[in-house]
A = this chain, B = another copy of it.
Amino acid sequence: MRIGVDLGGTNIKVGVVDEQGSILGQNVGPTPIEQGVEGIIRDITQQMKDLLEVLHISKGEIQSIGIGVPGLVGKNTRQIIYMPNLFLKDVVLDKKIEKVFHIPTFVSNDAAAAALGEKIVGSTRGISNSVFITLGTGVGGGIIINDQIYSGGHGWGSEIGHIYVGENFYNCNCGKNGCLETFASATAMIKYTKKRLSEGSEDTLILQKVEGDLKRIDAKLILDSAKEGDALALEVKNRFIKYLAIAIVNLYNILDPECIAIGGGISQAGDFILNPLRQEVNKRVFTKEVSYGDIVLAELGNDAGIIGAAFLENY
């Protein structure tokens, strides 16, 4: 058995995973950002102790611990260089947790861990070369090459959300213009909707659904309105599809993966986004002379990060 930890900007999730990749039990608690790195370590170790107790599992039965973190992890040092959402830089987690638990501990970028979870028991299992893209508040990604997590020469590869896909009307949090994240995240869909509303496109189901309260607009509501045929919602959705397709074609041109798995909250719209996405990608591929990796929906939802983290020792 192994422990996987998904350290997020909002919550810390901890799970015990068996060798087949099934989660035997998990718990979740808010991330104590204000307590800094020591508070986060305290919280992770306490959650692990609590969970083992509930499951009647002893520490000796745990082979390894893995932690997916929302940031850049140095390749050889495993030092966490930057976690913008946790306001932390230059953090060491693995050795500090090893000191408490005396179990080998590993860290990785959270989206890379989720990509690994999907590879072990989810949508990309059995596939040697794949890319996982998570479409949520932001856009993240993980790359599997030759059955291993690929994290680049220094450890900060797979920043899929920052692939340049075209000029945009607002800048990314990273300070640049044109990042995929500013076109294909929930935030991006909401921002573009509000922009179009401010330009006078007010004859829309979206406004009716939120009863005029713009703060209530979210990606699900936009996509639901698109399903009902609302013109503005369809425009927002088509824009999202177009730029996501550009990023995927860039991934084809560079990596030629056998499979691209789409996860994150937006992917819950299922075929409603998957089918037009496949069509748009097919229009944009370099040549029709060859076949490309399929685009599929991720299967594990929020569990992917815990499962992948649990197996970091081997990848």
Contacts and interface: CB of A to CB of B under 8 A. Distances in A.
A43 interface: no
Main secondary structure of the interface of A (DSSP, over half): loop
A176 B145 contact: no
B286 A159 contact: yes
B157 A256 contact: yes
Interface string A151-193: 1111111111011111100000010101000000000000000
A89 interface: yes
Interface in A126-165: 127-130, 143, 145-146, 150-160, 162-165
Given A72-B289, A82-B289, A129-B153, A253 B145 contact: no
A58 interface: no
Given A129-B152, A250-B250, A157 B255 contact: yes
A284 interface: yes
Nearest to A257: B153
A254 interface: yes
A166 B163 contact: no
A246 B164 contact: yes
Given A145-B145, A166-B166, A256 B290 contact: no
Which of A82, A157, A164, A255 lies at the interface centre, i.e. has the most chain B CB atoms within 10 A of its CB? A164
A25 interface: no
A182 to B, nearest CB: 13
B158 A290 contact: no
Contact of A176 (B72, B128, B158, B284): B284
B174 A287 contact: yes
A258 interface: yes
A165 B163 CA distance: 10
Which of A128, A150, A257 lies at the interface centre, i.e. has the most chain B CB atoms within 10 A of its CB? A150
A145 B152 CA distance: 9
B150 A145 contact: yes
A150 B150 CA distance: 12
A230 to B, nearest CB: 28
Interface in A225-262: 246, 249-259
A30 interface: no
Contacts of A258: 153-154
Interface of A: 72, 81-82, 89, 127-130, 143, 145-146, 150-160, 162-167, 174, 176, 178, 246, 249-259, 284, 286-287, 289-293
Ranked nearest first, the 4 interchain pairs of A and B with the lowest CB-CB distance are A152-B256, A157-B256, A153-B258, A129-B153
Given A82-B287, A159-B252, A159-B253, 19 more contacts: A72-B289, A72-B290, A145-B150, A146-B146, A150-B255, A152-B256, A153-B258, A153-B259, A154-B256, A154-B258, A154-B292, A156-B290, A158-B254, A159-B286, A160-B253, A163-B254, A164-B165, A176-B286, A178-B246
